[in-house]
């Protein structure tokens, strides 16, 4: 019992606020009851809450009943009158009211919008059974420079058999593909992805209709079966409850529908809506590919009562054994796992947390601003309160009025804030890039309440200062000659000035953050992708595998398409490739150049396929040799080109042109040898990384399932979009045109996440600087008003208006500089946290720091100059008359 103590803060507040003669007995009573309260079965936080609540009630009843008149009226009537009175007094000062309500609405609205988004993205659990027991297992290979990459199916199979810490491990492919689904006479595009038969069971979700996959359906030779999402079922099959068991045509092949998932089911793992099994063939499972190809993602469920540490230990041991069992393919291969939630949303964590920080700063600024406005207003209120106190109004009565005003203000601001939040969420939805998934956002009411209480709390706190003062105040002082103009006391002025300084400091931190992101965006814009994206139209085709199952059929289609596209007026040249610039397309593997020693080989070079026209169309320079033109008849080795980075790394002195290359570390008689015919300019695969060595093989050798076309045009690219679609459907109406857009547009997707964050930060910074500006202006006006008499006298003594203004501004400047100084120091810390979001910009970027500092100093100066100028130019006679 000894260490049970009532909350110290609440107790201290009570001792301070209660009348000294009552404090001892009341606090004693509360302490005694608190200890009676903390019995068995009562937790401490609950008891603390109880104490706080009793404290609030006690203070309320002590103050309310001090008001004698109050006894004669009922509480509800009193409150209604207080609120009516507050609304009337706000209506008398519309400018103040509008500013205060807007400030509140801005703070509450933006905080709510962002918090709702963050909450739903990061904090809400995955829609699966016991989601915190789900992990994603990945492989890492330091030797190959792989970190947390896709797993190889054979390795997953071994983990599944040997690691018993996991109750089960499932796999899925996150390369989902757009495939045509035949509906009636036409076709719609759906997103198909493959998974192991047990995935739905591991996730712990069950279908609405039919069943999930059974183990036999994992392998080739079983029926082709498919499970549909609710939306595909509803929109394409008219919610046919008898669909299960029927066969549908998907990608030109027949699939039996075995199940439909419920509407609320959110796959989350990839953006697919139709699911089938991997159906690996026996030949594949026996081949090297099965352990070599890192192509699947995994979901594993930790066994009941198994800690992640135990699972990690087992997995490490099995991975180590697999290294020695398969030294050729698994050398250096380690396995690890992260919670599935981290894996799925981890990428947006830093930016979203930063946004949350920005929201917090904005809320603080809004709170400080409302407090400031109330302080300024309290000067006017002071006389009124003093009069009322003199007429016998008790302290409690006055406090109640201030409370009513804060409540009215918070209510109005909160109402408008919710509207602003809804608008804000809508805006976030609009500008959110595909990478940041936002769907079904709703205004989070907890955040609305939180925002209201933060801002209203500060309003109440500062609003009550004048009420406390006035009750203590000497009425003669308040009514005395000097205060007819209404001026702040020294204490209030000090508070106001510190608030202004704090606001400026916080605004500066936000502005620096925004500035760094803007710099990052411009840096990203300046990144040279290595291609000329001007006047280029791009689209992709993915021929249905029913008719185009083999490469030669696909190649024939691509050749016919290229020929037809070239005929379109306005098309200058046509090329095709597995991927577009800034996309991580293609594969990586080891390679060997003919003539290298037995121990010499290259590691993990990226290779993809393209046509010769691709380089010409995108203006990629051909540095040496000749790129492949025309058709390849197979009589010579397949031509490949390498990029400059490849040539520089592996042939620093000589030339790679004419050399033979194979994608194997240790070639044998079955290895295929390609011939290098040219060196071309570098093209970036990622905006953040320097160009890496690449080999681009003639498309004819291995025709991808999905191929991108690029068209150089002499007219605005989108002007011929219709013609392109017509041309493709003329060749084959079953081949849909995908992702038709300008290359500029396609490239900007890579930057969209950063732009998204940058734009949101920019909005915050703008609001913050605006609010700080209002704060500075409010206080400067107050200073000017307060020193009106002095100014009048100085003007009468012959000082010029500008001299007076200068001296006023100089006063304000001190606080502006103090705030800015604190802000700069704060920014140095906060900017470091942003490191991972910045690109080619140092966290302490002098350009940003200097310009933002200058901006805020000038904003502060202007905001304090305007009232000062008005004071300096006022009519002398009027000033002196009013005294």
Partner 1 sequence: MTEALGEFEQLVMLAVMRLGATAYGVSIRREIYETTGRNVSAGAVYTTLGRLEKRGLVESRPGETIPERTGKRRKYYRLLPSGASTLHKSYSNVQAMACGIIDDLAHLAGKTVGGEN
Give the span between the Cα atoms of 444 and 457, in whole angstroms.
20
> Which one of 12, 24, 560, 847 is in contact with partner 1 (CB under 8 A)?
24
The window from 20-28, 572-580, 611-619, 662-670 that contacts partner 1 (CB under 8 A) reads 20-28
DSSP classification of residue 217: G
User: Does the footprint of partner 1 cover residue 17 (CB under 8 A)?
Assistant: no
Q: Closest Cα to residue 483, out of 881, 57, 788?
A: 788
Q: What's the closest the beta carbon of residue 391 comes to partner 1, in angstroms?
A: 22
Q: What's the closest the beta carbon of residue 1 comes to partner 1, in angstroms?
A: 9
The window from 24-32, 182-190, 276-284, 304-312 that contacts partner 1 (CB under 8 A) reads 24-32
- Residue closer to partner 1 by CB (options 61, 873) is 61
The window from 17-25, 523-531, 600-608, 794-802 that contacts partner 1 (CB under 8 A) reads 17-25
- Using CB atoms within 10 Å of the CB of residue 358, give its burial: 0 to 12 exposed, 13 to 18 middle, 19+ buried: buried
Tokens found for residue 591: 């390679």
Binding mask 371-410 for partner 1 (x = CB under 8 A): ----------------------------------------
Burial 640-674 (b: 16+ CB within 10 A, else e): bbbbbbbbeebbeeeebbebbbbbbeebeeeeebb
Q: What's the closest the beta carbon of residue 63 comes to partner 1, in angstroms?
A: 8
> Which one of 27, 181, 514, 580 is in contact with partner 1 (CB under 8 A)?
27
The window from 28-36, 547-555, 682-690, 801-809 that contacts partner 1 (CB under 8 A) reads 28-36
Q: What's the closest the beta carbon of residue 4 comes to partner 1, in angstroms?
A: 9
Q: What's the closest the beta carbon of residue 403 comes to partner 1, in angstroms?
A: 16
Binding mask 66-85 for partner 1 (x = CB under 8 A): x----x--------------
- Residue closer to partner 1 by CB (options 23, 793) is 23
User: Does the footprint of partner 1 cover residue 22 (CB under 8 A)?
Assistant: yes
Q: What is the largest CA-CA distance in the chain?
A: 109
Q: What's the closest the beta carbon of residue 58 comes to partner 1, in angstroms?
A: 3
Instruction: Please identify which residue in the block is written with the tokens 């930016």.
Output: 351
- Residue closer to partner 1 by CB (options 77, 658) is 77
User: Does the footprint of partner 1 cover residue 3 (CB under 8 A)?
Assistant: no
* Cβ-defined contacts of 400-403 (< 8 Å, 24+): 400/63, 400/64, 400/67, 400/78, 400/79, 400/82, 401/82, 401/85, 401/86, 401/467, 402/460, 402/463, 402/464, 402/466, 402/467, 403/82, 403/460, 403/464
Give the span between the Cα atoms of 688 and 751, in whole angstroms.
10
Q: In the range 124-143, which residues lie near partner 1 by CB under 8 A?
A: none
Give the span between the Cα atoms of 773 and 864, in whole angstroms.
9
Give the span between the Cα atoms of 782 and 487, in whole angstroms.
7
- Residue closer to partner 1 by CB (options 61, 671) is 61
Helices 490-526/445-472 angle, 10° precision? 150
Binding mask 29-68 for partner 1 (x = CB under 8 A): xxxxx-xx-----------------x--xxxxxx--xx--
**H-helix or E-strand containing 821?**
helix 801-833
User: Does the footprint of partner 1 cover residue 25 (CB under 8 A)?
Assistant: yes
- Residue closer to partner 1 by CB (options 25, 829) is 25
DSSP classification of residue 181: E
- Residue closer to partner 1 by CB (options 42, 560) is 42
The window from 27-35, 304-312, 451-459, 763-771 that contacts partner 1 (CB under 8 A) reads 27-35
- Using CB atoms within 10 Å of the CB of residue 303, give its burial: 0 to 12 exposed, 13 to 18 middle, 19+ buried: middle
- Residue closer to partner 1 by CB (options 11, 806) is 11
- Whether residue 197 contacts residue 186, with contact meaning beta carbons closer than 8 Å, is answered with no
DSSP classification of residue 122: I
Q: What's the closest the beta carbon of residue 164 comes to partner 1, in angstroms?
A: 55
DSSP classification of residue 599: T
Q: What's the closest the beta carbon of residue 21 comes to partner 1, in angstroms?
A: 9
- Interface residue list for partner 1 (CB under 8 A): 22, 24-33, 35-36, 54, 57-62, 65-66, 71
């Amino acid at each position: 019992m000894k260490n049970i103590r009532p909350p110290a803060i609440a107790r201290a507040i009570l001792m301070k606020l209660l009348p000294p003669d009552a404090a001892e007995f009341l606090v004693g009573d509360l302490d005694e009851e608190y200890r009676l309260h903390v019995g068995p079965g009562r937790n401490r936080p609950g008891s603390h809450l109880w104490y706080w609540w009793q404290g609030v009630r006690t203070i309320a009843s002590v103050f309310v009943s001090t008001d004698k008149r109050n006894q004669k009226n009922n509480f509800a009537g009193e409150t209604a009158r207080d609120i009516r009175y507050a609304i009337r007094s706000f209506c008398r000062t519309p400018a103040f009211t509008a500013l205060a309500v807007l400030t509140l609405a801005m703070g509450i609205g933006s905080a709510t919008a962002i918090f709702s988004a963050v909450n739903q993205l990061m904090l809400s659990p995955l829609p699966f059974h016991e989601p915190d027991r789900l992990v994603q297992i990945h492989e890492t290979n330091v030797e190959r420079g792989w970190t947390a990459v896709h797993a190889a199916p054979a390795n997953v199979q071994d983990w599944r058999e040997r690691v018993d810490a996991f109750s089960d491990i499932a796999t899925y492919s996150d390369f989902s593909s757009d495939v045509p689904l035949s509906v009636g006479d036409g076709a719609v595009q759906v997103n198909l992805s493959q998974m192991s038969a047990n995935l739905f069971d591991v996730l712990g979700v069950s279908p609405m209709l039919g069943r999930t996959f059974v183990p036999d359906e994992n392998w080739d030779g079983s029926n082709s079966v498919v499970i549909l999402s609710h939306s595909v079922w509803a929109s394409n099959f008219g919610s046919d409850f008898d669909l299960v068991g029927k066969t549908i045509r998907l990608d030109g092949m027949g699939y039996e529908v075995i199940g439909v998932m419920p509407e609320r089911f959110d796959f989350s793992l990839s953006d697919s809506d139709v699911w089938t099994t991997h159906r690996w063939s026996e030949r594949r499972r026996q081949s090297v590919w099965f352990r070599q190809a890192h192509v699947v993602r995994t979901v594993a469920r930790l066994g009941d009562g198994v800690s992640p540490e135990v699972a990690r230990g087992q997995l490490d041991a099995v991975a180590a054994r697999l290294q020695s069992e398969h030294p050729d393919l698994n050398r250096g291969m380690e396995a690890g796992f992260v919670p599935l939630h981290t894996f799925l949303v981890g990428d947006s964590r830093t930016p979203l947390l930063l946004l949350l920080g920005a929201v917090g700063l904005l809320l603080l600024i809004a709170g400080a601003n409302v407090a400031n406005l109330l302080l300024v207003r309290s000067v006017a209120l002071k006389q009124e309160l003093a009069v009322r106190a003199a007429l016998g109004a008790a302290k409690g009565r006055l406090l109640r009025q201030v409370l009513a005003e804060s409540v009215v203000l918070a209510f109005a601001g909160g109402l408008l804030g919710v509207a602003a939040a809804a608008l804000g969420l809508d805006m976030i939805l609009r500008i959110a890039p595909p990478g940041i998934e936002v769907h079904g956002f709703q205004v989070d009411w907890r955040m609305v309440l939180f925002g209201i209480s933060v801002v209203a709390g500060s309003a109440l706190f500062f609003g009550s200062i004048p009420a406390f003062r006035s009750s203590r105040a000497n009425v003669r002082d308040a009514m005395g000659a000097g205060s007819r103009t209404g001026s702040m006391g020294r204490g209030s002025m000090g508070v106001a000035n510190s608030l202004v300084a704090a606001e400026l400091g916080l605004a500066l931190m936000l502005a620096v953050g925004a500035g760094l992101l803007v710099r990052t965006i411009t840096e990203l814009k300046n990144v040279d992708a290595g291609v000329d994206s001007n006047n280029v139209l791009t689209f992709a085709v993915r021929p249905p595998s029913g008719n185009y199952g083999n490469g030669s059929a696909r190649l024939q289609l691509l050749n016919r398409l290229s020929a037809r596209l070239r005929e379109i007026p306005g098309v200058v040249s046509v090329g095709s490739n597995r991927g577009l610039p800034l996309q991580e397309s293609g594969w990586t593997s080891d390679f060997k150049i003919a003539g290298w020693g037995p121990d010499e080989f290259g590691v993990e070079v990226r290779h993809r396929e393209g046509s010769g026209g691709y380089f010409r169309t995108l203006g990629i320079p051909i540095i040496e040799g000749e790129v492949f033109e025309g058709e390849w008849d197979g009589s010579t080795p397949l031509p490949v080109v390498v990029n400059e980075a490849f040539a520089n790394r592996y042939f620093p002195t000589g030339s790679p042109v004419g050399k033979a290359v194979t994608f194997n570390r240790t070639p044998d008689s079955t290895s295929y040898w390609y011939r290098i015919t040219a060196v071309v300019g570098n093209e970036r695969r990622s905006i953040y990384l320097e160009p890496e060595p690449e080999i681009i093989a003639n498309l004819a050798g291995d025709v991808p399932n999905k191929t991108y076309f690029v068209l150089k045009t002499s007219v605005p690219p989108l002007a011929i979009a219709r013609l392109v679609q017509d041309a493709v459907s003329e060749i084959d109406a079953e081949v849909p045109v995908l992702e038709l857009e300008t290359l500029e547009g396609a490239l900007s997707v890579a930057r969209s996440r950063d732009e998204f964050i940058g734009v949101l930060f920019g909005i915050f910074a703008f609001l913050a600087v605006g609010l700080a500006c209002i704060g500075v202006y409010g206080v400067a006006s107050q200073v000017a008003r307060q020193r009106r008499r002095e100014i009048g006298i100085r003007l009468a003594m012959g000082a010029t208006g500008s001299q007076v203004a200068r001296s006023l501004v100089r006063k304000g400047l001190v606080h502006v500089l103090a705030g800015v100084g604190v802000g700069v120091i704060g920014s140095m810390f906060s900017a470091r946290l942003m490191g991972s979001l910045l690109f080619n910009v140092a966290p302490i970027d002098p350009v940003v720091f200097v310009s933002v500092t200058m901006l805020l100093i000038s904003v502060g100066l202007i905001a304090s100059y305007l009232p000062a100028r008005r004071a300096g130019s006022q009519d002398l006679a009027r000033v002196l008359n009013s005294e």
